[in-house]
């Protein structure tokens, strides 16, 4: 049995190469470094089997379609991920094999809804869920401090003490820790109840990272800034969120809203399906189709996507273009199907 775990960036923001018996997995690659990763894999004679993102990042640009093709491996993320370029969705407990090793996927929401930790060999890659002496912030969209407490205290801290912890970030030059060390000394969790943890996370008052809006919109949509005219934060914040059951009720009423689905065609007919009667206009076609869509400007419109991120941007574009009554399906088709509502494929 062979397993090599290596951090590749030597910066605050970490990318891991997992290698075993000629096969490799790249975890949390950073866009600007793709050529270096590619060279390294070639030099080592490793075949890249998977790219895994531990969550949707807000602080750096993730690998886009083109670079994913350059690396030549499918992208795996948890099924709560909003990102349309994901090739395979992961669920809690799923085994992911490479070489003679098997990664166990642990769904650990909190930093984001799609956060996972990856357990492999005697190690666990903790993403931004558990950091050395810290934990990932929970004030970004989809963050939830209570869930993070449950994930760390309830799950990670029950792994064997000697398990090596490899975080996605460290701002003090540290490389790894252990579960036992974190359980005994991590001040975020030490002697804290769940409520105390939630209160602590709510009072951190951290500044938002530079370019968070751009990073999130590009990462979540799978499109580049140039391909789509992304709406800015204040617009997005002004879009009313419509919960799935409420939308279902309105669709059955006298003046049903138009559902505008902004996912990719393959998602529209894919695993999650779509809402009956929904009009498909992928995110990157919205601008171009505005002259036609403007005919619906006086009608109530609810925009939908996978997880509610792309649709929030699209809804803001429509609102700016003069749509009077535009809402965003909260949580997207993930929330719609979770509510047990009917779909077509
Ligand atoms: Fe993060």
DSSP 118-162: EEETTEEEEETTEETTEE----STT--HHHHHIIIIIIGGGS-TT
Protein residues with C-beta less than 5 angstroms from the ion ligand 1: 57, 128
Phi-psi region of 337 (alpha: psi -120 to 50; beta: other; left: phi over 0): alpha
Nearest to 192 by CA among 146, 251, 155: 146
CA of 196 to the centre of ligand 1 (A): 22
Q: How much distance in Å is there from the Cα of 109 to the middle of ligand 1?
A: 11
Residues in contact with 281: Cβ distance below 8 Å, sequence separation at least 6, in sequence order: 260, 261, 262, 289, 293
Q: Cα dihedral sign for 267, 269, 273, 276? A: positive
Residue 337 has pLDDT above 90, yes or no: yes
What pLDDT is recorded for position 216? 84
Give the alpha-carbon dihedral of 40, 43, 102, 180, to 10 degrees: -50
Cβ distance 297 to 321 under 8 Å?
yes
- The residue with greater pLDDT, 338 or 219, is 338
What residues contact residue 125 under an 8 Å CB cut-off, 6+ apart?
Answer: 5, 16, 27, 54, 117, 118, 119, 166, 168
What is the chain's mean pLDDT, rounded?
A: 93
The answer, yes or no, to whether residue 236 has pLDDT greater than 60, is no
Under 8 Å between Cβ of 34 and 194: no
User: Residues 163-211: pLDDT tens digits?
Assistant: 999 999 998 999 999 999 999 999 999 999 999 999 999 999 888 877 7
- Predicted confidence at residue 233, as pLDDT, reads 45
pLDDT tens-digit readout, 15-66: 999 999 999 999 999 999 999 999 999 999 999 999 999 999 988 889 888 8
Instruction: Identify the pLDDT of residue 223.
Output: 79
**CB–CB of 149/189 below 8 Å?**
yes
Half-sphere exposure of 284 (CA within 13 A, CB side): 12
DSSP state of 283: G
* pLDDT of 232: 55
Give residue 301 CA to ligand 1 midpoint distance, Å. Answer: 32
- Is pLDDT larger for residue 8 or for residue 211? 8
> Do residues 137 and 104 touch, judged by C-beta distance below 8 A?
no
Cα 59 to averaged position of ligand 1 atoms, centre (Å): 7
Average pLDDT over residues 142-150: 96
* pLDDT higher than 50, residue 4: yes
Q: What band does 134 get if pLDDT is binned at 50, 70 and 90?
A: very high
Distance 15 CA to ligand 1 centre (A): 12
Q: For a pLDDT cut of 70, what percent of the chain falls above it?
A: 97
Expressed in angstroms and rounded, the spacing between residue 95 Cα and the centre of ligand 1 is 23
Return the pLDDT at 230.
67
Q: How far is the CA of 28 from the centre of ligand 1 (A)?
A: 10
Rg (CA), the chain: 21
**Contact (Cβ atoms closer than 8 angstroms) between residue 31 and residue 24:** no
Tell me if the pTM is above 0.85.
yes
Q: Which long-range contacts (CB under 8 A, 24 or more apart) does 37-45 make?
A: 37/8, 37/71, 38/70, 38/71, 40/8, 41/17, 41/71, 44/19
What is the residue whose two structure tokens read 């804290």?
192
83 neighbors 77 (Cβ within 8 angstroms):
yes
Residue 251: the pLDDT is: 96
CA angle at residue 332 from 31 to 129, to 5 degrees? Answer: 50
Distance 110 CA to ligand 1 centre (A): 10
Sheet of strand 279-280, all strands in order from the earlier edge strand to the far edge: 241-242, 326-329, 301-304, 258-261, 279-280
pLDDT band at 234 (very low <50, low <70, confident <90, very high): very low
pLDDT band at 304 (very low <50, low <70, confident <90, very high): very high
Backbone angles phi, psi at 280, to 5 degrees: -90, 115
Identify the pLDDT of residue 231. Answer: 59
For the residues 228-234, what does the mean pLDDT come to? 58
CA of 104 to the centre of ligand 1 (A): 20
């Amino acid at each position: 049995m062979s397993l090599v775990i290596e951090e590749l960036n030597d910066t605050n923001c970490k990318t891991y190469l997992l290698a075993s018996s000629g096969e490799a997995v790249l975890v949390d690659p950073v866009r600007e470094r793709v050529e270096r990763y590619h060279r390294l894999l070639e030099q080592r004679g490793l075949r890249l089997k998977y790219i895994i993102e531990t969550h949707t990042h807000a602080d750096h640009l993730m690998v886009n379609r083109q670079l994913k093709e350059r690396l030549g491996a499918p992208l795996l993320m948890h099924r709560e991920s909003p990102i349309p370029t994901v090739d395979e969705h992961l669920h809690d407990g799923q085994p992911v094999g490479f070489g003679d090793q098997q990664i166990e996927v642990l769904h650990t929401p909190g930093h984001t809804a799609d956060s996972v930790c990856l357990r492999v060999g005697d190690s666990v890659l903790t993403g931004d869920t558990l950091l050395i002496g810290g934990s990932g912030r929970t004030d970004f969209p989809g963050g939830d401090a209570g869930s993070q407490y449950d994930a760390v205290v309830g799950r990670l801290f029950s792994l064997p003490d000697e398990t090596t912890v490899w975080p996605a970030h460290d701002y003090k030059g540290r490389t790894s820790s252990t579960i036992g060390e974190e359980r005994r000394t991590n001040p975020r969790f030490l002697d804290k109840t769940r409520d105390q943890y939630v209160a602590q996370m709510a009072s951190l008052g951290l500044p938002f990272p530079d370019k968070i809006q751009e990073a999130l919109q590009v990462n979540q949509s799978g499109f580049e800034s140039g391909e789509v005219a992304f709406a800015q934060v204040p617009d997005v914040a002004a879009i009313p969120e419509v919960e799935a059951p409420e939308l279902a009720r309105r669709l059955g009423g006298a003046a049903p809203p138009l559902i505008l689905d902004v996912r990719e065609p393959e998602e529209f007919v894919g695993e999650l399906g779509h809402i009956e009667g929904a009009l498909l206009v992928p995110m990157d076609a919205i601008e171009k189709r505005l002259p036609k869509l403007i005919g619906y400007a006086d009608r109530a419109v609810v925009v939908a996507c996978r997880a509610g991120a792309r649709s929030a941007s699209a809804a803001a574009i429509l609102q700016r273009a003069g749509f009077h009554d535009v809402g965003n399906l909260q949580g997207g088709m993930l929330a719609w199907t979770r509510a047990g509502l009917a779909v077509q494929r």
